[in-house]
Amino acid sequence: MTDIRERIVKRVALELKDGQYINLGIGMPTMVANHVPAGLHITLHSENGMLGVGPYPLENEVDSDLINAGKETVTEMPGCSYFSSADSFAMVRGGHIDLTVLGALQVDREGNLANWMVPGKMIKGMGGAMDLVAGAQRVIVAMEHTTRDGGHKIVTKCTLPFTGLGVVDLIITELAVIAVTPRGLVLQEIAIDTTLDAVRRATGADLIVEGVLGTFQ
């Protein structure tokens, strides 16, 4: 499981661009902070009021007052600043976040996202997801390709409650990198240890394949 998550977040990190302001969602997306390419200068934003979030701390660096939106201890980068939750969400809603990386329960061919509840199960709350997908300039979904029982998470149409409509730009899983376009889901890359047929079987929506597929580790 750890290897799968590491593979996903390392591939996500390759999508980061110099100078971007980025929000990393709770869970797996927060791991992206530990894989920012050397020499790349980005600023990580957390909804609880922190701009300039650093990687997870080493044991001797832990400061219980420094936490992200998922209540995990983090470090701070030089120039880090703090502000109220209201100001934090004003940044999001004002379109000042270049990229957000979120997990998902389902994504469909139109880029619709469901990531906050499964009817009949415990609901932890929407959190900042609805604001982030509406306000961020680009949305990447980082998730495992299928459910634990092998069910489809990439589908023709979401059946779970929506977080946002037509908001997802790119899907990155342990098997594939898929772009959401007006024409549908375009398969851009597959993992080096899988096949196109395996990716198609694991996907509950049609995939558009054009030319030679790229691969990733």
Residues 181, 151 contacting (CB under 8 angstroms)? no
What is the distance between the alpha carbons of residues 46 and 49, in angstroms, rounded to a whole number? 6
Q: Of 15, 47, 110, 174, which residue is the catalytic one?
A: 47
In this prediction, residue 2 has a pLDDT band, given cuts at 50, 70 and 90, of low
Q: What's the pLDDT at 158?
A: 98
**What digits encode the pLDDT tens for the residues 65-116?**
999 988 999 999 999 999 999 999 999 999 999 999 999 999 999 999 999 9
Residues 104, 113 contacting (CB under 8 angstroms)? yes
Q: Is the pLDDT of residue 126 over 80?
A: no
Of the spans 23-27, 72-76, 121-125, 137-141, which averages the highest pLDDT?
137-141
Q: Tell me the one-letter amino acid at 40.
A: L
In this prediction, residue 148 has a pLDDT band, given cuts at 50, 70 and 90, of very high
Q: Is the pLDDT of residue 154 over 90?
A: yes
Q: What is the mean pLDDT of residues 22-34?
A: 93
Q: What's the pLDDT at 118?
A: 83
What one-character-per-residue DSSP string does 54-101 give?
A: -PPPPGGG--TT-B-TTS-B--EEEEEEE--HHHHHHHHHTT---EEE
Share of the chain above pLDDT 90, in %: 89
Q: Whole-structure pTM over 0.85, yes or no?
A: yes
Is 47 assigned a catalytic role?
Answer: yes
Q: What is the mean pLDDT of residues 47-61?
A: 93
Q: What is the mean pLDDT of residues 174-199?
A: 98
Of 13-22, 48-57, 169-178, minimum mean pLDDT range: 48-57
Terminal Cα distance for the chain, rounded? 16
**What digits encode the pLDDT tens for the residues 109-123?**
999 999 998 888 877
In this prediction, residue 145 has a pLDDT band, given cuts at 50, 70 and 90, of very high
Q: What is the mean pLDDT of residues 177-181?
A: 98
